[in-house]
Amino acid sequence: MNHRTALMGVLLSVVLALGACAQNLPRYRGYAFDAMIEDAHVIPLNDAESIPALKGYVREVHWQLDKPISGDFTVSVAENEHSAAYIGTLESREPVHIISLNGANLDSHPELETDESVRFNDAAAVGKVNVLEENRLPKGDYVFRLKVHGSQNWDRKEIYVQVR
């Protein structure tokens, strides 16, 4: 065996090991970044069935806050130990999508938004979104959708949020 063959064997072993590590994380479920909303940490949601507000929600929610928040909120995201292997370097966060689980009528206005992850004829797709008039939510139960883009991939979290 020559040096080239040995080197290829080592490289193949490293690639397979990294692939096995990445396969252990569910894809696009938020494990590749950390987030905070207001001063509450986003943590894994272990039992969505125990939350009555999520009973009729059609998508899977895998995250929650470690405590309820007030209606005034800020959202921050950061890299974690899985970021480099999965999304690369964190580059941006899309606007937060907020779904009211109580049917609250949120004051908003329509705006156009581009989505760089969907392209037509090499141009970003454009869609209409409703933008909140203010960063204040009434008391209730919500799902916040956070999506981040990295240098290699993207990831998202769907977070159960209580406003009290």
pLDDT digits (tens, 9 = 90+) for 61-71: 999 999 999 98
Q: Render pLDDT for 3-45 as a digit per residue (tens, 0 to 9).
A: 555 545 544 444 444 444 455 677 889 999 999 999 999 999 9
Q: What is the pTM of this model?
A: 0.75
Q: Which of 23, 66, 32, 27 is nearest to 46 (CA)?
A: 66
Q: 69-83 pLDDT, tens per residue?
A: 998 889 999 999 999
User: How many H-runs (helices) and E-runs (strands) does the chain carry?
Assistant: 2, 10
Q: Measure the N-to-C terminal CA separation of the chain; round to a whole number of Å.
A: 67
